[in-house]
Structure 1
Amino acid sequence: MDDLDYRQNSTVQYCFPDSNLSCKQEVRTGPAYMSLFIFLSCISVCTVFLNLLVIISISHFKQLHTPTNLLILSLSVADLLVGLVVMPMNIIQLMDSCWYFGKIACSVYPLISFVPMAASLCSLILIAIERYIAVCDPLLYSTRVTVCRTTLVIILGWSLCLFYIIIYLYINNHLVPSQIVTSCNGECVMSLKHFWVIVDLVVSFIAPCCIILILYSIIFQVARRQAKAVKAMKKGTSCKHRSKASGSSQTKAAKKLGTVIFFYLALWIPYYLSSLSVESLTSSSVFWTVFGWLQFINSSVNPLIYAIFYSWFRASVKYIVTCRIFEPSSSRSNLLPDHS
């Protein structure tokens, strides 16, 4: 009892003062830390708000119910979960080193964190495949890519991501609470061996990125050929003009979504390149924190790209902000005047 009283009255703080096996508590205070927490909290709020606008827009307006937009919707849902769950939990861990939620929550938290991030990458792969079909095989696009098929593919993609993350966490002994090894009470640290970092590098980054880059390189080669063909056809029938306009619009769409791919690679490459030099990666390391937040910020960048490039998104935001979305016929509004 005397030892317990000493621990409670000493300058060293513990996560659970009533436990002799408690971890030491490290509460980060001061102007620099407070500014950092406010900045990260603003990123989290903006991520949730912007992706929620995308989700509401595509879900509400019938004109936006297209295969491409359904894939964008899937990407936005994944990004929303990152801003709503992953970012706040990481901010809490940065503010206080203690884990107060128990081993069950410790085993579930990585699952909740990794699935949206894996689903985000899966959505980008599906977007690249969809754009490849649209640009390289436009005549068969409407028969091959439908809203129903796209929905089924999205569900399958999320299911595969969940399955992979479950296997990955189980192999690293972080899925079953009884298998989680902690040095003291109040600790939730996930340790990844170097071998499994390499496996994840191949499965979650190199292979998907190769698929995406190969598809987009083909898309832009086809786009250049189409551009040369358009220049050569100065005089043509109205049917040819419609064909050129269709091909041009598909190419522009591919370039816009290619920008999303570029930012994804730019924000994820530092994490995977640096992980190669780490023998054992833990979630408590500075490396994990810094490069992990670069990955999170990608979820904030995507909706900003939509706001810059997509006129339908800007138009739908006006409907939402001005509350015109609550009008009975708002779901049938024309957000693309050029396509009326």
Structure 2
Amino acid sequence: MDKSYRQNFTVQYCFPGNNASCRKQVRSDPAYIFLLIFLSCISVCTVILNLLVIISISHFKQLHTPTNLLILSLAAADLLVGMFVMPVQITQLKDSCWYYGEMACSIFEISTGYSTAASLCSLVLIAVDRYIAVSDPLHYPTRITVSKMTLFIILGWSFSVMYITIFFYFNHDLLKSQTVTSCYGECAAIVKDSWVIIDLVVCFVAPCSLILILYLRVFNAARRQAKSVRSVTNAFSQRHKPARSPETKAAKTLGLVIFGYLACYIPFYVSSLTVESVTTLSVVLNVFSWLIYINSSVNPLIYAIFYPWFRTSVKIIVTCRIFQSSSSRLKLLSESF
């Protein structure tokens, strides 16, 4: 038993020449190797899928709508997670060591917080946008324009930068790897108890409450619209089937994005209140953090399943038709949602 354990779990040092070095845990278990391969595939898929969303919305003029700009913003935040956050986390899972120095540790923790905060801001704006589109569809084109939405997105990302900067400013003494632990070669952010509560309210309770309230109103408004359309259609002809409005379809599809987000974030914030030591090296928080990261690869899958324009644009990109001079003017849909 002990011999098998030593073969699958050997202890070395992150920096053998440094007496203060942390111990490196090299795991050779086949199940663990499979986990690393699986997470690496998720990271690659997250980058590819979100790049396809970004290229599609950026290139095709028909997709330059306020709602699609929000999807573009969300995809950009998810791309940061897949391109930078996931690979670094995978390297840490590999042997538990941080080789990149104290400054890189700070940058990594700040970047992780920034990308998740920007994703949250995009989801809040999506909920507000869908509420206005469904509750007041006649005035929506004049109230919400591409230029206004661009401004709101910039403000949302700016707020994310401001909040994360303030958050780590008040926790900066706890972010340094040398002072957090007694060994060299570890990157851990310990959050003060007061800021655990503040972060819970600012990044979870308040925005998620707003999102849920707005979407309840969105679905109620969509249901009323469907009943109105059905009654008018039935009065006109029994042979006509009521068609769902683009706003209603978009609300339902983006609702899946919202509730997928909630399902991935609720375990993390609940665990942050229950674990004794809130650090980025906590096993519990590590597991639930990966649940948050995986959410970044789920969103483009939802687009692929429910949005015909995304499937059409991907075919054009994969077949290299996007390089044709007039490809940006191609009609992906007869009716843009």
Contact 2:11 2:25 in 1 (8 A): no
Question: How far did residue 236 of structure 1 move?
Answer: 5.3
Q: Which moved more, 1:38-47 or 1:23-32?
A: 23-32
Is the 1:193–1:279 Cα contact (8 Å) retained in structure 2? no
Distance 1:106 1:40 in 2: 21
In 2, are the aligned partners of 1:193 and 1:280 still within 8 Å (CA)? no
**Within 5 Å, which residues of 2 pair with 1:109-124?**
109-124=108-123
Q: Secondary structure at the match of 1:26?
A: strand
| 1:89-128 superposed matches below 5 A | 89-128=88-127
Post-superposition shift, 1:336? 0.2
Instruction: Give deviations 1:123-170, integer Å, cap 9, x for gaps.
Output: 000001011111111122111111111111111100100110111112
Structure 1 length as normaliser, TM-score?
Answer: 0.90
Give the Å deviation of 1:251.
Answer: 1.0
Question: Which structure 2 residues correspond to residues 156-175 of structure 1 after superposition, within 5 A?
Answer: 156-173=155-172
Asked if 2 retains the 8 angstrom alpha-carbon contact of 1:194 and 1:278, the reply is: no
2:47 counterpart residue number: 48
Match of 1:281, SS?
coil
Give the drift of 1:71: 0.3
Q: 5+ unaligned residues in a row in structure 2: which ranges?
A: 1-9
2:320 counterpart residue number? 323
Q: For 1:136 and 1:332, how far apart are their aligned partners in 2?
A: 31
How much does 1:217 deviate? 0.6
**Partner residue of 2:4?**
none
Aligned Cα root-mean-square deviation (Å) = 2.0
1:189 deviates by 1.1
Distance 2:28 2:179 in 1: 29
In 1, the alpha carbon distance for the partners of 2:223 and 2:53 equals: 31
| 1:184-205 alpha-carbon deviations (Å, 9 max, x no partner) | 1112111123332221111101
Partner residue in 2 for 1:87: 86
Corresponding residue for residue 131 of structure 1: 130
Corresponding residue for residue 287 of structure 1: 284
Q: CA deviation at 1:248?
A: 1.8
Measured in 1, the distance between the counterparts of 2:56 and 2:174 equals 36
Cα drift, residue 25 of structure 1:
1.5
For residues 227-280 of structure 1, the C-alpha deviation after alignment (integer angstroms, 9 at most, x for no partner) is: 22122213459xxx9xx86x7221111011001111111111111112221232
Give me the whole-angstrom Cα distance separating, in 1, the residues matched to 2:227 and 2:11. 72
The letter for the 1-side match of 2:146 is V
Give the counterpart letter for 2:47 in structure 1.
V
Aligned to 1:3: none
Task: Point out the more displaced range, 201-210 or 270-279.
Answer: 270-279
Q: Distance in 2 between matches of 1:249 and 1:70?
A: 16
Task: Give the partner amino acid of 1:163.
Answer: M
Q: What residue is the counterpart of 2:303 in the other structure?
A: 306
- What does residue range 177-326 of structure 1 map to in structure 2 within 5 Å? 180-233=179-232, 234-235=234-235, 248-326=245-323
- In structure 1, runs of 5+ residues without a counterpart are 1-10
Question: Whole-Å Cα distance in 2 between the matches of residues 160 and 326 of structure 1?
Answer: 36
Shift, 1:338, TM fit: 4.5
Deviates most, 274-283 or 72-81: 274-283
The 1:290–1:337 alpha-carbon spacing in structure 2 relative to 1, beyond 3 Å, is same
Partner of 2:334: 337
Specify whether residues 210 and 96 from structure 1 end up closer, same or farther in structure 2 by C-alpha distance, changes over 3 A only.
same
- State whether structure 2 residue 64 is matched by structure 1 residue 58: no
Q: Secondary structure at the match of 1:296?
A: helix
TM-score, with normalisation over the residues of structure 2?
0.91
Closer, same or farther: CA 178–286 of 1 in aligned 2, 3 Å? closer
Q: Say if 2:78 and 2:119, in contact at 8 Å, map to a contact too.
A: yes
User: What is the CA–CA distance in structure 1 between the aligned matches of 2:264 and 2:207, rounded to whole Å?
Assistant: 15
Deviations 1:58-84 (A, max 9, x none): 000000000000000000000011000
Query: Does structure 1 retain, via aligned residues, the 8 Å contact 2:176–2:188?
Result: no
Task: Report what 1:78 is aligned to.
Answer: 77
Alpha-carbon deviations, 1:75-123, whole Å to 9, x = none? 0000011000000000000002111111111111111111111111110
Report the residue type matching 1:48 in the other structure. V
Q: Report the count of equivalent residues.
A: 323
State whether residues 82 and 296 of structure 2, in contact with CA within 8 Å, keep that contact through their aligned partners in structure 1. Answer: yes
SS at match of 1:27: strand
Contact 1:115 1:161 in 2 (8 A): yes
Deviates more, 1:84-93 or 1:14-23: 14-23
- Secondary structure of the 1:335 match is coil
